[in-house]
Structure 1
Amino acid sequence: MTVQPIRYFGDPVLRTPADPVTTFDKELRRLVRDLTETMQEAGGAGLAAPQLGVGLRVFTFDIDDVVGHLVNPVLEFPDDEEQDGQEGCLSLPGLYYDTKRRQNVIARGFHESGDPVQIVGAGLMSRCIQHETDHLDGVIFIDRLDNTGRKQALKDIRRAEWYDPTNTRVKVSPHVTGPLGLGL
């Protein structure tokens, strides 16, 4: 197995925008395999390369028995429909918060071989794609919470057994927030 340790909230790599993948080679295939096996071992729905300490724009997903990955994703939203529901993160283990996301997404990118890929997602798949793409931009899902929600999340993080107070940077979402607190 190639299960790797997952980086927790506070690790600077989680706040650093990832670089585009430029070489589709054996190393990229190994990274995709490591991401997939680590995600599945941890019971996650998705995992982005920065969560393994790798600053590249690639993530894996496992939603409703659909397992895959996307390299250098670019997202489009075909409509303004929204969803609100529980969201968690393998980098903030055990913590879940209601998070607003777009209901539908079209994600374009590449397969590990360099072939173009398009994923049309709704519901949980859309949430996962947005969440993992945020990781590639240095955004953690609690950044998308309103002020009250973010304050509660930070309190909960400080109480978590995995929390390391010497290694934490908090960031407010760089995205414009609307009346519903959407960071889209």
Structure 2
Amino acid sequence: MIKSTTKKMYKIAYLVLFIMLTSCTSSFSSSEKEIIYHSPDSPARVLQITNKNDSLILRAPSKNIKNVKKNKDIEPLVKKLYLTMLEEGGIGIAAPQIGINKNIFLFTRLDKEENSVEVAINPKIISHSSEIICFHNDGCLSVPDKYGNSGRFSWIEVEYTDQNKQKVTHKFLGGSRSEDYTGIIFQHEYDHLQGKLYIDKPCVSK
């Protein structure tokens, strides 16, 4: 009788643990996969803050992607994001902008001669300047027909998993549009993952 009860307790404990683990795993939902795999060689629709339903997604915090090395949905998502960014003429784009609340975005490396586009998966800003600069004429694919100044850190140190699924750490600078402002692009896209837009960080230039 004691053994039987103990077995039942173990089974219940295992079931609870399994539920906890699976609930913490943020895999792509069926609706998100539909976006990823719909017309694989075509761009996605960019969500607009002026649309009530779109704004609910744009304003929602995103979740980390689990099991990055084994996740087969990442590469087609990156392709979809890249095609969409090219179509819209952007220099960065985050997954929430196409309706996927996951922590991944593309950003242009202006600090490299070839201005390559890179992938940031589950990014973190681990350090930043105490100085805030006022970046002029910030814009966003999800905020139509508007530009404005936004307050940004003058440098950031970041950690993320790149397109090769390797963890990397970089320090990016932020400045004016006439200089390297990779750090500004990174902050802009990172904000999307927090449910924030550049219009939430207005500033007045001195």
TM-score between both structures, scaled by the size of structure 2: 0.66
Structure 1 counterpart of 2:194: 137
Residue of structure 1 aligned with 2:159, choices 99, 108, 114: 108
Q: Distance in 2 between matches of 1:61 and 1:38?
A: 13
How many residue pairs end up in the alignment? 148
Question: Quick one: which amino acid aligns to residue 110 of structure 1?
Answer: T
Q: Distance in 2 between matches of 1:110 and 1:19?
A: 14
- CA drift at 1:121: 1.1
Structure 1 counterpart of 2:72: 26
What are structure 1's unaligned runs of at least 5 residues?
Answer: 150-179
Q: Contact 2:128/2:153 (CA < 8 Å) preserved in 1?
A: no
Shifted more, 107-116 versus 27-36: the winner is 107-116
Question: Cα–Cα, structure 1 residues 63 and 43, in superposed 2: closer, same or farther, change >3 Å?
Answer: farther
Question: Quick one: which amino acid aligns to residue 173 of structure 2?
Answer: A
Give the CA RMSD over aligned residues: 1.9
Structure 2 counterpart of 1:67: 117
Q: Contact 2:126/2:157 (CA < 8 Å) preserved in 1?
A: yes
Question: Quick one: which amino acid aligns to residue 100 of structure 1?
Answer: G
Structure 2 counterpart of 1:160: none
Q: Contact 2:43/2:84 (CA < 8 Å) preserved in 1?
A: yes
Residue of structure 1 aligned with 2:97, choices 51, 54, 59: 51
Question: Quick one: which amino acid aligns to residue 39 of structure 1?
Answer: M
Q: Distance in 2 between matches of 1:117 and 1:2?
A: 30
Question: Quick one: which amino acid aligns to residue 46 of structure 1?
Answer: G
Partner SS state of residue 172, structure 2: strand
With CA pairs under 8 Å and 6+ residues apart, which has the higher RCO, 1 or 2?
1
Q: Contact 1:36/1:61 (CA < 8 Å) preserved in 2?
A: no
Q: What are the within-5 Å matches in structure 2 for residues 134-173 of structure 1?
A: 134-145=191-202
- CA drift at 1:106: 1.3
